[in-house]
Structure 1
Amino acid sequence: MAVWDKKILWGFTFLLTGAAGVAVNYPDHICAVKGSTVTILCTFTPLKSAIRAGTQVFFEITRVRWCQNHLICHGTTPSVYDSQSESNDPRYKYLGDKKGNCTLQINDVKKEDEATFRFRMEANDTPAHYTGRSGVNITVSDDSPMMVSSSSSGREVSAGENVTLYCTALCTFHQLEVTWFKDNHALSESGPALQLSPLTPEDSGNYTCGVRTNDKTLSLPYSLHVEAEQEGGSNPSLMVGVVFGVLLALVTLIMVVCIIRRKRAAAADTDQRAVGGQVEPKHPDDIYSNVLPPAEQGHRQEPSRAVEEVSYASVQFKHKNQDRLAKEAEDAIIYSAVASRG
C-alpha cells in the first residue's frame, strides 16, 4: 500500500511539473474570405523534462496535429493535418516544426473551414502530450465584396507619378489570390497590390478586384484619372538655365553702364580742366609738340594750345584797356590844371 501511494505521489508530482510552462499561443478570431488563403500563426512551448522517481526525464516532441471542433484532438479524432499521416488534405499546409512553431496555412478557404481549430503535440512519453484547448475560431465570408484603396490621396494624378492600388476586405486574410480588372477587362497582374508606374493617360479607367476563385467578392469600381503632361511644361533644368542667363545678362549690363559712366566722368573732368587753362598733358610727346612751330605741328594742335592763345589774347586786351584809362585820366588832370591857371 505504501509503495502504491508513493507511485501516485510521484505521478502527481510529474503531472504538476509537466503542466507548468506548457502552452499553445493562438491568434485572435479570424475572418476569412471564401477562396482566399489564411495563415494561422501559432507557437507552442512543450514539456522538455520532468522529475520521475528522483530522476530528471527529458522529452522530445514526435508528433503534431491540427483538428477541427474537438476539445482534445487525440486518438482517432479526424485531423486536418497529422505529421504521421500521408493522406493529409493538400489545402492544409503545416509551416511549423516540432520545436515551437505550429503555424498552419489554409489554402482556398471553403465554407466548411468555419470551425474552431486546435493544435496538439505528442511526445515520446504520454505525460508530455498536450492540446491547446482554447483554439482559434475561423469564420468564412462568401459574399463580402473587396475594396480598392490607393496610395495617392486623390483620384486625379499626373502623368509620370507612381501609384499603388490595394485590394482589401473587411475580413483578415493572408496571401490573397486576387484578380484585377480595368474597365471590366482582366489584367495579368495578381496579388493584393497593383503597382502603376510611371503613370500615363492610358492608365485612366475604372479598377476592380476580387478573389480569383470567388466572383461574389468583386469590389466596387475605383476611378483613376491621369492628367496628361502639358506641352512646354516646366523643366527644372530649363528653368535653371533661363535664370542663369538672365542673371548673366543683368551683370553684363551693369558692368557696361559702369564703364560708360566712368568714361563720361573722365571726359567731363578733362573739359573742366581745359576751360580753366590747367590741362595736364597726358604724354610727353604732347608737351614737345606744343613748343614746335605751327608749321611742324600741322594738324596736331591740341585744345590746350588753343586755350593758351585765348588766355593770352584776353590778357593783352585787358592791358590795352588799362593803359587807355590811365592816359585819359592823366589828360584830364593836365587839362584841369591849365584851366585853373587861365
Structure 2
Amino acid sequence: MVLRTAGSVLVVFLWSVTVVLGQYGWSVTYTTQSICTLKGSSVEMSCSYKYPSGHKVTSTFWFTKMKTGVEPEDIGQDPEYAGRLEYHGDKKKDCTLRITDLRERDSATYKFRFTTDQTEGRYYGDPGVTLSVTALQVKVTPSHWSQWKKLTCKTTSYPLTGNPTYTWYKNGQVVTVKTSTYSVIPNDKDSYSCAVKGHEDLHSPAVYKPKNTSVSVSPSGEIVEGSSVTLTCSSDANPPVDKYTWYFQNETFLNGFGQIYNISKFKSKDNGHYHCEAQNGRGSRNSTALMIILPGVSSHSGHTHFSHHCRPAPSPTRGPSPDPDLDPGTATTATTMSTPPIITAPTVAIAAAKPPAMNSELLLHPQTGSGKEG
C-alpha cells in the first residue's frame, strides 16, 4: 500500500499495479486499480487504451453502471457530476479522468469505454478503478477523568492507511498537531474539528453543544379545549442531539423524552409554561419557556380574559437560574408570575437546523474479464 500526497489531494493507493486487459489488439490500461481519498478532494484516474489499426475512435466516456444488453451511461451526462469532471484524454490513446470536489456518494467502480467507426468497434476495460471516498468526523466520548472528553478524529466509512498525523482546531484555530485522539476539558462555548496534516482544507465539521434550542407549537392558531397540541423541540448541534427532555411548570414530564411531545386532549389543567432541553455528547441547552393558555381562562382575581393562546413567557419573579448562554432576562422555565401576560399574538414557529456516521473496513476485490463486444 502506498500513501501519496500531491498538492491539496490526499490519496491512498491500494494495490498500485498496472492493469492491462485486452484481446486481438484491444486493451485498456488502468495505472491504479483502487483509490481511497477524502471528501472534498480531487482524484485523477490515469488510463490509456489501444485498438487495432484501421479503426477511428468516434466516442469515449467513463461509466459506473452497466446492465446486460443495455448501453452503459456516460457519467458526463449525470447531473451529479456537473462541473466536476475533467476529461484529460483524447480519441487516440489517453483516457485519463479527473474528478473534483469529491463526495461520498462518488464511491464506485469506474470503467472506460470507447467505440470506433467499425461495426465491431466497441470496447470497455475491466476491472476498472474502484474509488472510495470518505469524510472526517470527530467522535466525542467520556474520558477516565470526569471533566475530560476524549476527541477522536476518524473517517465515516473507509479507514485511511499510513497512520497520518492530524491537526486539531479549537474554535477554528490550530491548537495541536498529533495523533487521531485529543483529550480536552471543553468549555460549553468551544467547538472542535480536525484535519489530516498537510490537507487542512479538508477538515471535519466542528463538534459543539446544542445551540438555538427552541420550542414550536402546532396548531399555531387558536387552541380549542379537547384538541390535540403538538410541541416540537428544535436545536442545532453536532454531534446530533441524542436526548430531549420536556418540562412543564419547571417539572419534567414522566414520558417527555422525545423531540416531539403531544398532548392528545388539551385541557385547562395543561395551561402553563413549557420548555425543552436538548443534549448531546458536548453538553446541553435549554429553550426559552413557552406559555400556552386556553382562550377565556381567568388568570387572576381581576378575571382578565385572554384572546390568544401561546407566546414566549416573560421573565419569572422566581424560579431556576436562566441558561447563561441565553440573553439576560430570558427565562428557561417559569413558575410564578407577578402579573399575568396579556397575550395578543400566536407564537412564531422556530426553524430547526439539522446537523449531519460508522467505520467499516474497505474490502476491495479485483474484478476479472474485459468487455469486447461484437
Is TM > 0.5 for Structure 1 vs Structure 2?
Answer: no
Q: Which has the larger radius of gyration?
A: 1
TM-score (norm 2): 0.32
TM-score (norm 1): 0.35
